[in-house]
Structure 1
């Protein structure tokens, strides 16, 4: 029997009358392929999948799909009745991976509000900026985030709903107290359609504050069905029809829900797959192995640093991890050696990864199994509802094999940056093409290879860190005169934050890091710090020679394993 090619499989699966049928829809003046049979909204997705099967596992707590929707309806009633939330209002969520994150998200998007996923690692300054930027009407926060409200320049305008909290800031409301005032209630009525805005996820740019990426219900759902289509096409091209599972599939949520990978690829994808979602509040590889064994986890998706941790734990522990069938990647590329390690260490596991962005709702390309093992440096081939183009400096498309900037467009694209027409004008080219800032090439078979970045970004374990943002924080210190921030290779995380600083002779590195902790998230604080006694080198036009500083820093790191500051 001759097996179909990937293109033939996708054409068969998306033909008229098929579950993944595609149709052309005009979005923003461009013709875009969308799934004809997709749910109209996230609300419809939640309602269609409200079974009695177990859904959320958080420690000893277990909540079923139907039960989660009932609880979310009670929260939605609180939002509407007590806080006047209406369609289009922003509801911010800032907490660890507690069940309430999911319930608040479900409630907000079901009534047509926009769920704003705030980075839980932000400190007070960044939290305050994002809340003001999005104009949130309500903020859901756990104790750690509530404590950071004390560092705000002024009390937040948003009403604060405390989750799993002991001590409350002035004016905050306990979620349990709000819910105690009502019994079981239906979800408030709302007409939510595909083009309505659903989410704002903040993403770090190369300069300045994070930008809020606004996406519609259609864009989010396009991502979920795109992944389903990819797996269906793999079954056709391999000639292997997956056997019906003997037990309910389960996935491990080891990455934060405020990342598109965690929210989309892990959490939201679990509805139609009817997967149990086993939540971790923070990453711990030993605990992850314990949960995989105890909960019979079948899939795990995480950045390379975390899947690498799991490989090491699997080699050193006697845990039974045989239930794993899929180990996926995202957020940052894997080293080719790790791809081979996953295949070798986990028997029968299909390693897979993909390329996507917050702005594409985490979809773009995908690669799995034998294809991935044969091309471990590739990010895969394009989603059926997305398009890729590699262009030169003149904006013209380049032939296969030539490197240029990667552009993307399609059904998964966000609507634009919230309140940032300047960033939208800079990021979008003609005809809906989005400039990714990645340097890449496509080979003759359509496989994507990311080779560099145009934008001044560091990707640390899947976290995007804008160099300009860290430089601005360094320059706020009165003893710092000049600062250059750059990526330093790291075996586990892919990249770490490095910085070369020129300042007062009395500048103390420990005091500088303590200062930065008030303005930056922990992952943004430079782990490699070089103190320069002389002004930083510049070009004739006055730009700091960052590449030279980075090369000098790397040369010094080769002679020492210490992360103590280097004096130059």
Structure 2
């Protein structure tokens, strides 16, 4: 079958993927009719695929949790949150930690009581954590030791209840282990949660300096999950396996990006529940350790930023491994260099090398492609994932542009965020008649492939981590010798982009990159601190409207850098 025929066949013959028109906040969209209505309902939907609960579900640093162990822990935590901590529907509960199994349990436990998960960037400083907690209104935070240390200065002023996890357990009054072990029941709570209730708040860097809280609903998350699940159903219809081919192995995913980002939470963790997939967590990214984990655990699915797949390839070559178990080698968070596509396909011949584009605002669902399509079009982002999304490419006046013409990628569907938290103007600017103006500029060809060419937003993507230029500039302006600052992306062979900045200093002042790094420590997360600095005493270049000309300044600085090399 062609991809289009396969989609029509599955939607019309498989009740799981049947689609209806539904009304969401006054907007008519296509949505799956028969899927689980909420995120916690995904647990029961995956029970049979996880061997009636008996299969190993999470592996981490020598620890192992069966699916039954996992779901019982989720239910116990939900009871304890309600009975011991007094949490209930609508309460926002923050999670701040590295990728521990407890994080996965907490996401489902909070949503099981009808609460709203507030995903906190584990790399944030105390000042950045303060902003997010004030903005979200979260009064309870589950955190590991390093995050507890950063949160302690805020405990009294924000009236926080801190619950320690792992190395944070002995630093707080409440602990994760005690809550879980003292719960009255390990059976599911009976809570009425509407499919359009809020599921989570995830923070995404924007052009406003402070990150924006993206409010995701249960319907949005589960529609994204089943859109991905449907890809595994249509794939054998498009490319049928040989009659004597063995059954495919159980899907098994290695999580190598932070779980406070959609790249890890949605297409890996949440998808793993109904897909029957095993999850392996890494304590910290290490390419050689990733090779060993993939080899020894027969991992089938790898999804990381392009830097990680490149480093995985180099490590596998050094170790003499081809990692034949991998059937999906995807990238998200940033564009993979075109030349790397064929290199990865040659290095891992059994893997379908894939790319994807999505946003926090779309629950990570968006555009993608795999295999021969990607190898033939390594500059492209792929096609829109069917069947519930709609796509338009618009000009500055909101009109459709012809195929082959540059315009703003604009999408619609049940997976779109509800709003930006506490930012009605930004919400109205981004959501127009149910359509999400993504801020990304691209071209749609006659076959449906989309190539993303530019960003309207001033965002630096460092190894998949979004950094707002205004956020960096605000911190740079704190220095008493800085009169003006502009931040921009600098190409980097390993991370894709890193932060660069040009400064106008006060007359007679001198400032080195090392001095500025020391000054910013504690004010700005390490990954946001400029790796390259250009200083001058003259006024920074301006355009015709007397605004700082970011593009011209960036070009001049990069020219100077190239000349020095």
TM score, norm. by length of structure 1: 0.94
Equivalent residue, structure 2, for 1:565: none
Equivalent residue, structure 2, for 1:54: 56
Equivalent residue, structure 2, for 1:516: 520
1:56-455 counterparts in 2 under 5 A?
56-152=58-154, 155-165=157-167, 169=171, 172-182=173-183, 184-240=185-241, 245=247, 247-319=249-321, 321-383=323-385, 384-429=387-432, 431-455=433-457
Contact 1:125 1:152 in 2 (8 A): no
SS of 1:24's equivalent in the other structure is: strand
CA RMSD in angstroms comes to 1.8
- Distance of 1:507 and 1:376 partners within structure 2: 42
Contact 1:53 1:274 in 2 (8 A): no
- Distance of 2:166 and 2:242 partners within structure 1: 44
Equivalent residue, structure 1, for 2:50: none
| Structure 2 residue ranges without an equivalent (≥5) | 48-52
Deviation, structure 1 residue 64: 1.1
Deviation, structure 1 residue 534: 1.7
Equivalent residue, structure 2, for 1:466: 468
Contact 2:10 2:17 in 1 (8 A): yes
Deviation, structure 1 residue 287: 1.0
Contact 1:49 1:65 in 2 (8 A): no
Deviation, structure 1 residue 223: 0.9
Contact 2:22 2:30 in 1 (8 A): yes
Deviation, structure 1 residue 332: 0.9
Q: Flag the 1:519–1:311 CA change in 2: closer, same or farther, 3 A.
A: same
Equivalent residue, structure 2, for 1:535: 539
- Distance of 1:489 and 1:392 partners within structure 2: 28
Deviation, structure 1 residue 24: 0.9
SS of 2:186's equivalent in the other structure is: coil
TM score, norm. by length of structure 2: 0.95
Q: How many residues matched?
A: 556
Deviation, structure 1 residue 179: 3.4
| Structure 1 residue ranges without an equivalent (≥5) | 562-568
- Distance of 1:467 and 1:296 partners within structure 2: 41
Equivalent residue, structure 2, for 1:5: 2
Stretch moving more, 505-514 or 19-28: 505-514
Deviation, structure 1 residue 188: 2.5
- Distance of 2:90 and 2:534 partners within structure 1: 46
- Distance of 1:489 and 1:387 partners within structure 2: 33
Contact 2:81 2:179 in 1 (8 A): no
Cα-to-partner distance string for 1:462-485 (whole Å, 9 max, x where unaligned): 111111111111112222110000
- For residue 511 of structure 2, the aligned residue among 507, 512, 526 is 507
Equivalent residue, structure 2, for 1:564: none
Deviation, structure 1 residue 184: 4.6
- Distance of 1:332 and 1:531 partners within structure 2: 29
- Distance of 2:158 and 2:188 partners within structure 1: 28
Contact 1:489 1:496 in 2 (8 A): yes
- Distance of 2:233 and 2:381 partners within structure 1: 19
Contact 2:263 2:332 in 1 (8 A): yes
